[in-house]
Structure 1
Amino acid sequence: MNEDRLVIWLDECGRKDIDLVGGKNASLGEMLDAMKANDIPVPQGFATTSHAYRLFVQENGLEKIITEALSDLADGVSSLQETGARIRSEFMHARWPHQVAKRILSAYARLSERLLIDGADVAVRSSATAEDLPEASFAGQQESFLNIRGEEALLAACKRCYASLFTDRAITYRNLHGFDHLKVALSIGIQAMVRSDVGSSGVMFTIDTETGFDKVVVINAAWGLGESIVQGKVEPDEFVTFKPFLDHKRRKPILEKRLGAKQIKLIYGSGDEATQYVPTSVEAQSTYCLSDSEVLTLSRWACAIEQHYGVPMDIEWAKDGTNERLYIVQARPETVQSRNDSSLFTTYEIASKGQQIVSGVSVGDAVATGRVVLLESPEQISEFVDGSILVTGDTDPDWVPIMKRAAGIVTDHGGRTSHAAIVSRELGLPAIVGTRDATRRLHTGQDVTLSCAEGDVGFVYEGVAQISRNTISAEDIPETETQVMLNLANPGAAFRWWKVPADGVGLARMEFVIGNHIKIHPMALARFDEVKDEQARSEIESLTAGYPRKRDFFIEKLAVGLARIAATVHPKPVIVRMSDFKTNEYANLIGGRVFEPVEENPMIGFRGASRYYSESYETGFAMECEAIAKLRDELGFDNVIVMIPFCRSPAEADRVLEVMASKGMKRGDNGLQVFMMCEVPSNVILADAFARRFDGFSIGSNDLTQLTLGVDRDNEILSDLFDEENDAVKWMISKVIVDAHKLDTRVGLCGQAPSDKPGFAEFLVRSGIDSISVTPDSFVSVKKHVACAEQHLRDTK
């Protein structure tokens, strides 16, 4: 055999060489060559070829042994575990063909010379010749070994790579996907180590791994070597960036920064152990692994790699702690979301759900019910019941034979790029990872409902809930002249709706972000010294850790939360309503009671516009304005429109607009539009005056109905009297549309009525409404109601 074909330098191979060096090494070679123009550093290295593997098998007579062992497995003579152990043992006791060992050690010596290190430390990674193809991912099926130094250690690690081609999980995977065991060869990548053991490392995707939203880069990061993330041993930091704005140097489009626990890290070991896990310091746990500039740099690199390959990518990166430089160490096509039909979207409804037991990072968007089986080790496979919910600490590839039999998966540890998350996506299973205490709070035999359909946080509920599923094709949704928009509130769930052909977001509720993501009363952050309750002070200190100024916590969290919503439909408009809590709702926020009055009827009390210029809340409103300014100017979402709720008079409108202008939010500057909720009868009566002050109206049908009819919308006794189709309410709506249109002011409606009542949707269309904004689960039905109404109008003309 030609010895030149036994080893090849990575920068001499590319995607065309998958049969020679496998998907992983072919991709590395491709990057080394292609990324030079983008100044993206990729560590040097070389690879053994499939010819070297086949020579190893041939000279040691392993083909016969493999065939016999697999035949015994197929005939039931031996178990999977016995078969794998038998074949791996033969590999480990085999001898290196002289010419293969010679070429490996010669290349290793040259690599050490290039690195100016005597006996360089290297990463030794397996690369199967059928892996990382768009139609089949072999992720995690073979072994990798880090911090390998010296000739003897290198040859031993290479032999272990060969043996890992026949781990139990690899045998199972090939059987499942129909690959001939003897036709799959193994290449070994030997690559210079990046000293991330004293730095950080992680994984990033150029697509949202849960929803398939293709305008974002998702980055996971942890201290130390990257295997800790892949193995699901740590809950990593997570960053999400918005691709369309990455080329704008003055923008910083980071949509999310989530601090992970990172309680342990993988570092260089000593003696026989090449690596070892150690605890991270308290300071490291509370510190992000990457700066904002590093997050943006990695994101730009990810986009360049995706552009080169032409498909969404799964990329590994590392930061060398000795020189503070970032490197790309691996890239492969993403194999789950990129294959899904982007024209389809599925909605789930969960009824009769029990008490929430645990929560964690949501993987997928489905719901599953079943009986818990709690396992500590994959060796307990005989105890697992098909169709159960697997609960364990974390998973590695040895768990795959159990995972593919489960209805859902819950783990204590891990993030979106952990092994449990990756395999769950590939198997199409809902999973909740990083719960921290699922193995303590769940027990075998317990009936539960596992929900990944409520956003980026997944929940496990007690008992078996009622679940309904509805799959819709975007192609079946009619087009309409009247815009149909979405009401969105939860940033964590926003990406789920990117496939919906909506005309934008007609109502983004700021108070949801404040109540569920920030949780603290704005004034408790602005005037923390006035918060005397010790428990509230402790909670605020904990939530705002890492923010020297507590008000910055509010501004950043609010801006970033709203950015996720704005990104979902960009560049279509997103109407963000400024906070519209009632006093009793504000008081329930952490530290809120000292800043709120007690009102007999908060529904028509100190709410909306009246708060924004009040001495008691003006500082809080200023923080809201700063968050919107950050959202539009720094993050770049100038598709955001601001909306003022519950504005009772033109004089009050003037005061609010004046306060906004003083906070850098002047209507008209940088294209800023300001809308107003039309929900008080005075808004209709004085529509002409209001229309001269605002760019648009959004009718809040619930408040307008209760104030027109004098019916408390929350009063069950009067529920039969609450009717949006009452003639008085419809007169109000028709009147404001006519008067607003005289001044070319747009009018939309956000409310539940068009969803529940087809006749009401037809009334709105006849009245000339410009847009209707509804909840995502109502979008399709309302769109069809509107299309029918428009067709009826055309037919009657």
Structure 2
Amino acid sequence: MNAYTIPFNRIELSALPQVGGKNASLGEMFNKLSPLGIEVPDGFAVTVESYRSFLLQNQLKETLQQLLDTIDRESLSNLPKVAAQCRTLITNAHLPEEVKTEIINAYRLLAADKNNLPVAVRSSATAEDLPTASFAGQHDSFLNVRGEENLLNAVQQCYVSLFNDRAIKYRIDNGFDHMQVGLSVGVQYMVRSDEGCAGVIFTIDPESGFENVIYITGAWGLGENVVQGAVNPDEFWVFKPTLAQGKNGLISRKKGEKKHRMVYDETGESGRPVKTVETPLNKSTAWILSDPEVLQLAKWSCEIEKHYRVPMDIEWGKDGISNKIYILQARPETVHSQKTHGEVYTYKLKEKGRVICTGKAVGKKIISGRACIIHSLSEAHKLQQGDILVADITNPDWNSLLRKAVSIVTNKGGRTSHASIVARELGIAAIVGTGNATQVISDGQIITVANTEGDEGHVLEGNIPFEMVTTDLSKVPETETTPLFILADPDRAFELSHYPAKGVGLLRMEFIINNSILIHPMALVQFDQLPEGPVKNTIAQMTAGYNSKTEYFVQQLAEAIAKVAAAFHPNQVILRMSDFKTNEYASLVGGQYYEPKEENPMIGFRGASRYYDRRYLPGFGLECEAVLKVRNEMGLTNVKVMIPFCRTVEEAKKVLQTMESFGLKRGENGLEVYVMVEIPSNVILADQFAQLFDGFSIGSNDLTQLTLGLDRDSDIVSHLFDENNEAVTILIAQAIAAAKKAGIKIGLCGQAPSDFPEFSQFLVEQGIDSISFTPDSLIKGIENISKAEWKRRESNNGLVKQEQWEGNNLLTAAAKNEGTD
């Protein structure tokens, strides 16, 4: 084995002391995972021994140590000066001849007959890519390096990068001895992703820590733009359990703008081997990967995670010339893999604020502070401890600066960008990819960063009051009555999966349509018949990139449902089919062409009555198609369907027949169909409804308003709205009794069980199977259930003791009587 270079095919993880963490991992994958079909570009490692020899022959070790010892470890005020002196020493030194010879020979062997083979030259430290310290981005990499002299120079520049300000500070922060950390260099065949695409993969959701998904992100061109956060990338989530079953595990995707891409600079005009150019419109609006390619990467990622036995952070690239996909790097994920979810923090704004800009939310937190706009490190002195840093983009050179900030807001970047990764490591909130933060936020302005609404974060004007509640999940009691969620925002599903809910009792389809799809389903079905004008143009723009207008609806809806179903798998997710009122449907894009004007939409053309009516029938067909996609294609059979506002038994039969005509048949592939109990007729004829459905869900809001004959949207009579009214509770008790008699499940969705402990006690006493809560009410709701169940047990124990006492007295009396007879 050569002392100064080792080919990848002779490297395994055990070689980490000789070749550093990155190269050890590459060699391990090249040797152990290539047989599984995982493509890893070939290459070789310039060993740590080469670096040691370089220091020795240039007599640098003692001088470097003396310089590093002068750093003020408290203030780090002289770090830039000391680091610059170290880099000058390394730059002015010379590679030993024997090291140069071995590197050139290894390069020629890798290149075979190709002159000036382009290679990627990457630093690989011995303290790098460890489960507790990744060193990601601390040292430099060089892309599209061609020719022997350029390669030797790139290797030496990797040595120089070991003494970047950020790398020195990282070693100080993590307790590594500067001179004990060795540097190897990886020289790897350059995948032509400049002509294709590249990005980053996490085998765990990087935002929530949800472990059952593969998160894939990427953009056109070389992957550096994605890693640095210079571009807003495409995002894909793949569900591991159904992927392993051979199903289509691609459960969600989001298209990024991808305005720029990094490519080779063949002209040399930029002075660098690579340059950034604008992405053509036809590419920026297209997905970077096909579905089969996404699934292939996901399968490879699962194999890599299985091999390393820890969540992984992976870089990938697609060669645009050969169309082959490669794994370029893999390292342990170091943020969520070190955490537990025993304690959760819930943030809530006390007031509304004016939204200045929005972007991707990193960290579910709220924080206020002074905005400090930083354009470059030359302005670093402006940032004070406790400021909110606002920038176009950040990079690893900013690491020491970022530690002063309480939050980060950037124009560019995605969830795997540098700013996002640093924010997670520091435990602070960030909003990335706003597009315009540095333009719309004023330097010195007081702002609030609010990351409480799913994937989207909001920068608000002023210091907005908020509250934070800490909950120790280990202390939340177990209950016999099943606690479930009421959900409207699928983007919160992964985060909420850590909470003690046993599934979802109500997933509101209409909220998904309103927040994500935005277009009236019938306007998509009948797009060609729409009049020419702004509405039709808007729909055309929104559905660009889809094979058809209806595919846009089905795919968007299916992926939103699937995200929730995956988060709580294998527990049940009860999906309520659309329950918009006509006035709400009319507000969707194109809705004005299809919705009648009603005096009281609350009791008009809504729920079940729409599904079989010719005016909405094709739209309901799209809803059914989306559910079929989730259950049959994606394999998420934990999704159940629920029919709202079903007025009569005859209507129930029509709806079930209509569903079956669209391929959604009750009982097929285990499909269960529930019905909402929210109309007095549902209770009065509960025994008949029970013969048609697998379960009931009491909608206490509608049942209350229809029992008391009031419009809950009316302020005038709102004071009469009361779920505890005896007329309402009698109907609820009757519904529960009817479900028990029929042997089907029954739950309740509503706010009352968390607001009123006595209402929870009433439901528990009636024997209800489940109660569903909004996320902010879940913990309080579980506590109310637990107290109610404790009271019931105490009451039952009292009855048992009473019966035992009475029984003993009866026996005594009987014995006395027997004795006297």
TM-score, scaled relative to structure 1? 0.97
The CA deviation at 1:530 is 4.1
- Distance across 1 between alignment mates of 2:92 and 2:256: 42
Asked if the contact 2:216/2:237 (under 8 Å) is kept, the reply is yes
**Corresponding position of 1:256:** 252
> Secondary structure in 2 aligned to 1:607?
coil
Residues 1:190 and 2:221 are matched in the alignment:
no
Q: What whole-Å deviation, never above 9, does each CA across 1:65-117 have from its counterpart, x for those lacking one? A: 3233324432989733222222112111101111211111111111112xx42
- Distance across 1 between alignment mates of 2:14 and 2:712: 66
**Corresponding position of 1:267:** 263
Among the aligned pairs, what percent are the same residue? 50
The CA deviation at 1:470 is 2.3
Asked if the contact 2:242/2:636 (under 8 Å) is kept, the reply is no
**Corresponding position of 1:339:** 338
- Distance across 2 between alignment mates of 1:567 and 1:524: 30
> Secondary structure in 2 aligned to 1:246?
helix
**Residue of 159, 168, 172 corresponding to 1:171:** 168
Q: Which runs of 5+ in 2 are unaligned?
A: 797-821
Q: Which moved more, 1:178-187 or 1:65-74?
A: 65-74
- Distance across 2 between alignment mates of 1:64 and 1:505: 63
- 1:7-26 maps to which residues of 2 (within 5 A)? 7-26=5-24
- Distance across 1 between alignment mates of 2:34 and 2:722: 66
> Secondary structure in 1 aligned to 2:372?
strand
Asked if the contact 2:753/2:759 (under 8 Å) is kept, the reply is yes
Residues 1:439 and 2:454 are matched in the alignment:
no
**Corresponding position of 2:633:** 634
> Secondary structure in 2 aligned to 1:642?
strand
User: Aligned partner of 2:29: which letter?
Assistant: M
> Secondary structure in 2 aligned to 1:683?
helix
**Corresponding position of 2:699:** 700
The CA deviation at 1:632 is 0.8
- Distance across 2 between alignment mates of 1:36 and 1:530: 53
- Distance across 2 between alignment mates of 1:223 and 1:716: 54
The CA deviation at 1:10 is 2.2
The CA deviation at 1:777 is 2.0
**Corresponding position of 1:511:** 510
User: Aligned partner of 1:524: which letter?
Assistant: A
- Distance across 2 between alignment mates of 1:736 and 1:448: 50
- Distance across 2 between alignment mates of 1:356 and 1:700: 34
User: Aligned partner of 1:501: which letter?
Assistant: P
Count of residues in Structure 1 that have an aligned counterpart in Structure 2: 792
> Secondary structure in 2 aligned to 1:452?
strand
**Corresponding position of 2:801:** none
> Secondary structure in 1 aligned to 2:597?
coil
User: Aligned partner of 2:68: which letter?
Assistant: L
**Corresponding position of 2:807:** none
User: Aligned partner of 2:327: which letter?
Assistant: I
> Secondary structure in 2 aligned to 1:461?
strand
The CA deviation at 1:338 is 0.8
- Distance across 2 between alignment mates of 1:305 and 1:31: 8
- Distance across 2 between alignment mates of 1:279 and 1:398: 25
**Corresponding position of 1:479:** 478
**Corresponding position of 1:780:** 779
**Corresponding position of 2:564:** 565
Q: Which moved more, 1:534-543 or 1:123-132?
A: 534-543
- Distance across 1 between alignment mates of 2:742 and 2:120: 68
- 1:567-582 maps to which residues of 2 (within 5 A)? 567-582=566-581
- 1:43-58 maps to which residues of 2 (within 5 A)? 43-58=41-56
Residues 1:60 and 2:53 are matched in the alignment:
no
- Distance across 2 between alignment mates of 1:566 and 1:422: 27
**Corresponding position of 2:38:** 40
- Distance across 2 between alignment mates of 1:111 and 1:331: 22
**Corresponding position of 2:805:** none
**Residue of 130, 133, 137 corresponding to 1:136:** 133
User: Aligned partner of 1:299: which letter?
Assistant: A
**Corresponding position of 1:765:** 764
Asked if the contact 1:109/1:119 (under 8 Å) is kept, the reply is no
Q: What whole-Å deviation, never above 9, does each CA across 1:389-437 have from its counterpart, x for those lacking one? A: 1111111111112111111111111111111111111111111111111
- Distance across 2 between alignment mates of 1:283 and 1:253: 27
The CA deviation at 1:543 is 0.9
Q: Which runs of 5+ in 1 are unaligned?
A: none
**Corresponding position of 1:74:** 72
- Distance across 2 between alignment mates of 1:262 and 1:43: 25
Asked if the contact 1:353/1:449 (under 8 Å) is kept, the reply is no
- Distance across 2 between alignment mates of 1:292 and 1:581: 32
**Corresponding position of 1:237:** 234
Q: What whole-Å deviation, never above 9, does each CA across 1:314-356 have from its counterpart, x for those lacking one? A: 0011111111111111000000011111333322112213111
Q: What whole-Å deviation, never above 9, does each CA across 1:572-624 have from its counterpart, x for those lacking one? A: 11100000011111111111111111111111111101111111111111111
Q: Which moved more, 1:270-279 or 1:44-53?
A: 270-279
**Corresponding position of 1:147:** 144
**Residue of 114, 118, 121 corresponding to 2:118:** 121
**Corresponding position of 1:424:** 423
The CA deviation at 1:149 is 1.1
**Corresponding position of 1:619:** 618
Q: What whole-Å deviation, never above 9, does each CA across 1:113-139 have from its counterpart, x for those lacking one? A: 2xx423321100001111221221211
- Distance across 1 between alignment mates of 2:77 and 2:559: 56
- 1:89-488 maps to which residues of 2 (within 5 A)? 89-113=88-112, 116-249=113-246, 251-270=247-266, 271=268, 272-488=271-487
The CA deviation at 1:501 is 2.5
Asked if the contact 1:73/1:83 (under 8 Å) is kept, the reply is yes
- Distance across 1 between alignment mates of 2:754 and 2:713: 19
> Secondary structure in 2 aligned to 1:30?
helix
- Distance across 2 between alignment mates of 1:191 and 1:236: 25
Asked if the contact 1:344/1:499 (under 8 Å) is kept, the reply is no
> Secondary structure in 1 aligned to 2:447?
strand
> Secondary structure in 2 aligned to 1:196?
coil
- Distance across 2 between alignment mates of 1:170 and 1:650: 71
- Distance across 1 between alignment mates of 2:423 and 2:360: 13
**Corresponding position of 1:657:** 656
Asked if the contact 1:575/1:641 (under 8 Å) is kept, the reply is yes
- Distance across 1 between alignment mates of 2:444 and 2:704: 49
- Distance across 2 between alignment mates of 1:140 and 1:402: 15
User: Aligned partner of 1:434: which letter?
Assistant: G
The CA deviation at 1:11 is 2.7
- 1:575-590 maps to which residues of 2 (within 5 A)? 575-590=574-589
User: Aligned partner of 1:18: which letter?
Assistant: L
- Distance across 2 between alignment mates of 1:334 and 1:453: 24
Relative to structure 1, the CA distance from residue 77 to residue 167 in structure 2 (aligned partners, 3 Å threshold; closer, same or farther) is closer
Asked if the contact 1:353/1:466 (under 8 Å) is kept, the reply is no
**Corresponding position of 2:800:** none
- Distance across 2 between alignment mates of 1:471 and 1:144: 42
- Distance across 2 between alignment mates of 1:133 and 1:357: 40
Between structure 1 and structure 2, the one with the greater Rg is 2
- 1:704-743 maps to which residues of 2 (within 5 A)? 704-743=703-742
The CA deviation at 1:467 is 2.1
**Corresponding position of 2:816:** none
- Distance across 2 between alignment mates of 1:490 and 1:662: 29
The CA deviation at 1:711 is 2.2
Relative to structure 1, the CA distance from residue 181 to residue 353 in structure 2 (aligned partners, 3 Å threshold; closer, same or farther) is farther
- Distance across 2 between alignment mates of 1:533 and 1:493: 38
The CA deviation at 1:533 is 6.9
- Distance across 1 between alignment mates of 2:472 and 2:69: 46
Q: What whole-Å deviation, never above 9, does each CA across 1:689-739 have from its counterpart, x for those lacking one? A: 111111111000111111111222222232321111111111010001111
Asked if the contact 2:134/2:331 (under 8 Å) is kept, the reply is no
The CA deviation at 1:294 is 0.3
